[in-house]
Amino acid sequence: MSELSVNHLLGIKYLNQKDIQLIFETADHFKEVINRPIKKVPSLRDITIANLFFENSTRTKLSFELAEKRLSADVINFSSGQSSVKKGETLIDTVNNILSMKVDMVVMRHPNPGAGVFLSKHVNASIVNAGDGAHEHPTQALLDSYSIREKLGEVNGKKVVIVGDILHSRVALSNIFALQLQGAEVMVCGPKTLIPKYIDKLGVKVETNLRKALNWCDVANMLRVQNERMDISYFPSTREYTQQFGVSKDLLDSLDKEITVMHPGPINRGVEITSDVADSQQSIILDQVENGVAVRMAVIYLLASKIKQ
Amino acid sequence: MSQKVLLNEKEVNIILHRLACQLIEKHNDFSNTVLIGLQPRGVFLADRLAKILSEDYQVKDIQLGQLDITFFRDDFRRGEKPLEANSTKINFLVEDKNIVFIDDVLYTGRSIRAALTAIQSFGRPNEIELLTLIDRRFSRHLPIQPDYRGRQVDVINNEKVKVNWKEHDDADADSVYLIEK
């Protein structure tokens, strides 16, 4: 087995094709492990991991924590809400204090883009970016690609449309990098106000008509409307958004082919997709959640193997 | 790099049949026994033994699995090279079963220790035995010995035992070599 080319997972743009291949092959083995009666392996019993969440998260945090525990790592959790960050402590001071407790790896979510890159230059630990502002969310993109590979056999040559709030989405950017690296064609679709101006410079197609986008694609990755990141109104009303960019069962049935539907969660049921789509055979949303643990185990395992004894 | 033949094809064949007969003596119809080849190279020996048992000795419905021990090894982050994982295929229950671990060469015993831990993830077997084609004497780090052994050999530390299978190693015939590292 080769090794990852990086010591940190800061974003998909720092990875190469071989890294993604290695992560997926390792995740295949961990997927088998997490389907055993006893889902735990002792590989990381001498590693301590700090999960630093400076921004709210449910599934990513749980998924990382479960992945770490299934690898037998010691885990400490930190949420900024109840911490000295509120008292004015800097990020580096906070992290250095935690690292003084002999922590080997930091999984960090932070509201500011580039926080992971910044930290990796100032502290001596392996950093995993669990989402930095509207920049990147690499493990989500990896598990999305892994789920596409599992469902459709391969990512290369597939057509994927990312629908919704592209402007505020770190999932969209990481997915664009990951999918293109694996040879997929990517389209973004959403209200013009939620599509960044220069997105086509990344080599993606842009479409504002959902039906056209769905007719083109093999996979539709629906994004959540991130109301919490919107300081102004980007579309007239939720109802109007749903009418133009929401996916319903009727819409899917009216296409002349079957497409795969994904969503990184949490779903606003009835806004991005209707309940009957979320729970349909075409949806792989729950597979994404299961694969998330296997992919995160793979990332942590491969990064940990590079930490010097 | 010099190499010396420890076993030729005829000797390997005789030993495999003897090991198969010893398994039958102990396990009879194999109704409650499962054979588990240890990845990466024990699986070739396990395949061969299962074939001999079913074709030459008409043992029916042999349950054969493959176990990878990579994530249970005690040298993670200690070696020069990254550890390479292999597939695990155990499509049956091991609860209350008599398990025979099968590996080609028994050296330090650390792989077997890892396998003993790994198999617990699949249930609690009734008993576990160990079968190896080659037992490297005087080189054990742990108190582990085979229940069935093909050949016991004395090998010094800078030498390696390599088992070649004609169907997997692009070799003309089955053979066991002693290679100077």
Residue B55 backbone dihedrals phi, psi, to 5 degrees: -85, -45
The percent of residues above 70 in pLDDT, for chain A, comes to 95
Whether the pLDDT of residue A84 is over 70: the answer is: no
Chain centroid offset of residue A228 CA: 18
For residue A229, what pLDDT is reported? 59
Higher pLDDT, B106 or B79: B106
**B70 reaches A (C-beta below 8 A):** yes
pLDDT at A266: 86
Answer yes or no: do B82 and A2 touch at CB < 8 A. yes
What DSSP string runs through B114-129? HHHHHHGGG---SEEE
Burial class (CB in 10 A: 0-12, 13-18, 19+), B104: buried
Q: What is the pTM of this model?
A: 0.90
Q: Which residues of B touch A27 (CB under 8 A)?
A: none
Quote the minimal CA–CA distance from B55 to chain A in Å: 31
pLDDT band of A86, cuts 50, 70, 90: low
A-B Cβ pairs (cutoff 8 Å, strict):
56
| B82 to A305: CB separation less than 8 angstroms, yes or no | yes
Beta strands, E only, A173-297: 185-189, 205-207, 219-222, 260-262
Q: Which residue has the higher pLDDT, B98 or B85?
A: B98
CA distance B167 to chain A (A): 23
Chain B CA closest to residue A308: B77
Residue B115 lies in a domain: yes
Sheet of A74-79: strands edge to edge? A74-79, A48-53, A105-110, A126-132
Residue of A nearest to B115 (CA): A41
CA-based nearest distance A42→chain B, Å: 6
Per the annotation, binding residues of A are 59-60, 87, 109, 137, 140, 170, 224, 265-266
Residues of chain A with CATH 3.40.50.1370: 8-137+289-305, 139-284
Superfamily of domain A139-284: Aspartate/ornithine carbamoyltransferase (3.40.50.1370)
- Rounded CA separation A306/A292 (Å): 22
Chain A interface includes B92 (CB < 8 A)? no
| Model ipTM value | 0.83
Record: contact A38-B68, CB cut-off 8 A? no
A154 pLDDT more than 80: yes
Q: Note whether A75 and A20 are within 8 A (CB).
A: no
Q: What is the C-alpha R_g of chain B?
A: 16
Place of tokens 């997929």: A184
- In the chain, the amino acid numbered A123 is V
CATH number, domain of B47, equals 3.40.50.2020
| C-alpha distances in Å from residue B134, one per residue of B102, B108, B109, B158 | 11, 12, 12, 17
Residue B108 lies in a domain: yes
- Measure the CA–CA gap between A160 and A217, rounded to whole angstroms: 5
From residue A202, how far is each of A199, A273, B169 by CA, in Å?
Answer: 6, 27, 46
Residue type, A52: L
Residue written as token pair 């911490």: A83
What is the C-alpha separation between A40 and B3, in angstroms, rounded? 41
Q: Do A307 and B77 touch (CB under 8 A)?
A: yes
| Cβ contact B87–A32 (<8 Å) | yes
Beta bridge partners of A207: A189
**Does B79 map to a domain?**
no
Do the chains contact at B68 and A307, CB–CB below 8 Å? no
Q: Which residue has the tokens 């028994």?
A: B106
pLDDT in tens, A92-148: 888 898 889 899 999 999 999 999 999 999 998 999 999 999 899 999 999 999 999
Its domain, for residue B136, covers 3-74+85-180
pLDDT digits (tens, 9 = 90+) for A202-254: 999 999 999 999 999 999 999 988 766 555 577 778 888 889 999 999 999 99
Identify the bridge partners of residue A106 per DSSP, sorted by sequence position.
A50, A127
pLDDT of A309 over the 80 cut: no
Classified by CATH at the fold level, domain A8-137+289-305 comes out as Rossmann fold (3.40.50)
In the prediction, which pLDDT does B164 show?
93
Q: Is A32 on the interface with B (CB under 8 A)?
A: yes
On chain B, the residues whose CB falls within 8 A of the CB of A38 are 120-122
Q: Residue B17: is it exposed, middle or buried by C-beta count within 10 angstroms (0-12/13-18/19+)? A: middle
Closest CA to A210 of A276, A254, A175: A254
Work out the number of other CB atoms within 10 angstroms of the CB of residue B32: 12
The SS3 of residue A150 is helix
Return the residue of A nearest to B77 by Cα.
A305
Give how many domains chain B has, as a whole number. Answer: 1
In a domain, B80, yes or no: no
Selecting from A37, A302, A305 the residue whose C-beta is nearest the C-beta of B121 gives A37
Residue A210: its pLDDT value, please?
A: 95
What digits encode the pLDDT tens for the residues A24-53? Answer: 999 999 999 999 989 999 999 999 999 999
